[in-house]
């Protein structure tokens, strides 16, 4: 089974691109969605213990948690030490199901693929990218997003240029949808000879 690592900076179109692969029969694992599930389940009591007052009715309040960890490297490391192992367990379960279903390929949508060493667990790395202006417009259109929060998130992520340099494939998501679709098709054709 080919493991495709999909990454890109915030606002670059990872989720939309994962859906493009899914429409072609390649299931995707969304690490961000896993975090959301964990924040409403297994991770909530662990996070509340480490960061008191960050949950409401047993669910992590992301705004409160952000206030505790953004721009605070030690606090962020504590949070990641709780969340990353749980996400990894969830990812392994996804991969096991895909193997049981005899999938030829899967996509692992991992925002911090390179930053966390996740690129060592995949066969190929695909980076989604768009211009800085498009990225900024997409991110600042999100509810609750501010310039400061955007800057704090970007500061934790490898630059877009470095991600593109490390990628096996780059998909430009800043243009027409059909161009991104053609890029996904080209990647799948390039990978089709692999086992």
Shared domain check, 108 and 97: no
Q: Hey, what are 25's tokens?
A: 């029969």
Quick one: pLDDT at residue 194? 59
In a shared domain, residues 66 and 142: no
Q: Are residues 144 and 123 in the same domain?
A: yes
Torsion sign, CA atoms 175, 176, 177, 179 = negative
Q: Tell me the average pLDDT across 47-59.
A: 95
The pLDDT of residue 84 is 92
Q: What is the pLDDT of residue 152?
A: 83
CA–CA separation, 122 vs 47, rounded Å?
A: 29
Determine the number of helices (DSSP H) and then strands (DSSP E) in the chain.
9, 7
Question: Does residue 193 share a domain with residue 113?
Answer: yes
Give the lowest-confidence range in 48-52, 79-83, 142-146, 182-186. 142-146
CA distance 16 to 107: 12
pLDDT of residue 27: 96
CA distances (Å), origin 122, targets 67, 105, 170: 33, 11, 16
Say whether pLDDT at 195 is over 70: no
**Count of structural domains within the chain:** 2
Domain that holds residue 153: 1-27+104-195
What is the CA 77 to chain-centroid distance, rounded?
Answer: 18
181 in the same domain as 111: yes
CA dihedral (174, 115, 84, 155) positive or negative? negative
> What does the pLDDT average to over 9-35?
93
Q: What is the pTM of this model?
A: 0.86
Are 66 and 47 contacting, i.e. CB atoms less than 8 angstroms apart?
no
């Amino acid at each position: 089974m080919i493991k495709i690592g999909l990454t890109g900076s915030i606002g670059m179109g990872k989720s939309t691109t994962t859906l493009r692969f899914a429409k072609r029969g390649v299931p995707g694992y969304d690490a961000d969605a896993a975090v959301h599930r964990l924040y409403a389940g297994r991770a909530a009591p662990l996070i509340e213990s480490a960061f008191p007052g960050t949950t409401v009715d047993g669910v992590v309040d992301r705004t409160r948690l952000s206030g505790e960890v953004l721009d605070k490297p030690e606090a962020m490391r504590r949070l990641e030490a709780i969340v990353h192992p749980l996400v990894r367990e969830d990812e392994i379960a996804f991969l096991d199901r895909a193997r049981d279903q005899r999938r030829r390929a899967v996509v692992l949508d991992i925002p911090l693929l390179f930053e966390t060493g996740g690129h060592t667990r995949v066969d190929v790395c695909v980076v989604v990218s768009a211009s800085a202006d498009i990225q900024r417009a997409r991110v600042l259109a999100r509810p609750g997003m501010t310039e400061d929060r955007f800057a704090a998130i970007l500061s934790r992520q490898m630059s877009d240029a470095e991600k593109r340099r490390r990628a096996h494939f780059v998909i430009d998501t800043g243009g027409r949808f059909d161009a991104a679709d053609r890029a996904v098709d080209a990647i799948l054709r390039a990978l089709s000879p692999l086992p």
